[in-house]
Amino acid sequence: MRKYLLIMSAGCIGWLATGAQAACPVFPTCEEMGYTMTATDCSGRATLKCPSDHAKVFCIADSSTECQIGSVLYNDLKCYDEAPSGKTAIGIVFDTSKRLAISLDSGKNSISWGSSADISGLDNCTGSNYTSCGTDGQSNTQKIVAALGESSDYAAGFCYTSTYGSLPKGSWFLPSASELKTLYNNRTQINTGITAAGFSSTISTASIYYWSSTERNSYSALLLGLRNGKVSGGKFKNRSLSDLYARCAVKY
């Protein structure tokens, strides 16, 4: 009889000493305990699993913070006050209004803008109206790649095909002349962020040029000169001199 009672107790049916039946405890459901999400709902965040149903989870708030100019951007496209475990630094924020960051990779030099052809859909812009013409680098890059193909042999293609930081192809793009000017104007904060991230790819004042994705005409495109921050269109698209760089940006 005692053995029978122990077995019944293990099955959550207990008996009082008087012989009266004791009710089993009713445990709260996953939802009642706050486990209302799935792993997909919590994508990119740590989770806690419900003890009784591991398909139900609770999303743990991450420690990300609002990005500022000079903030380090990580491969989850977020900024943090402290370097997060398991995430990789990929860029430095240079424009919070457009949510843009420049790559921590210094890019590629001795690269041409592309062939001497007028790209369909791109505005033809001069060095004097770059702030209102062809200002969306990501859109520009997509149009250039549509015309010239997915190759890393030219500036826009190099950025478009990049998977730096394990981001999918198409995430990185060649900045517009307007975006590069913003980059130059904020170079002090950007360089501080680059150094803090442990990289040496700072925005220098050397006599080098960054290609922009802003087209001037069939033969030339606009560039930013790092020595003086001037936007000009004085280089032919098919030139690939050692002082010509493609440095890529990403939206977060």
pLDDT in tens, the chain (252 residues): 343 333 334 444 443 445 555 556 677 888 867 778 787 766 555 677 888 888 887 676 567 899 999 999 999 999 999 999 999 999 999 999 999 999 999 999 999 999 989 999 999 999 999 999 999 999 999 999 999 999 999 999 999 999 999 999 999 999 999 999 999 999 999 999 999 999 999 998 889 999 999 999 999 999 999 999 999 998 899 999 999 999 999 999
Indicate the burial class of 94 (C-beta count within 10 angstroms; 0-12, 13-18, 19 or more).
Answer: buried
Flag whether 16 is in a domain: no
Q: Has residue 206 been placed in a domain?
A: yes
Is 92 within a domain? yes
Residue 43 lies in a domain: no
Whether 49 maps to a domain, the answer reads: no
What torsion, rounded to 10 degrees, do the Cα atoms 222, 226, 227, 228 define? 60
Q: Assess if residue 107 is contained within a domain.
A: yes
Q: Is residue 53 part of a domain?
A: no
φ, ψ for residue 82, nearest 5 deg:
-125, 150
Domain count, the chain: 1
Contact indicator for 182, 219 with CB cutoff of 8 Å: no
- Domain limits at 117? 64-251
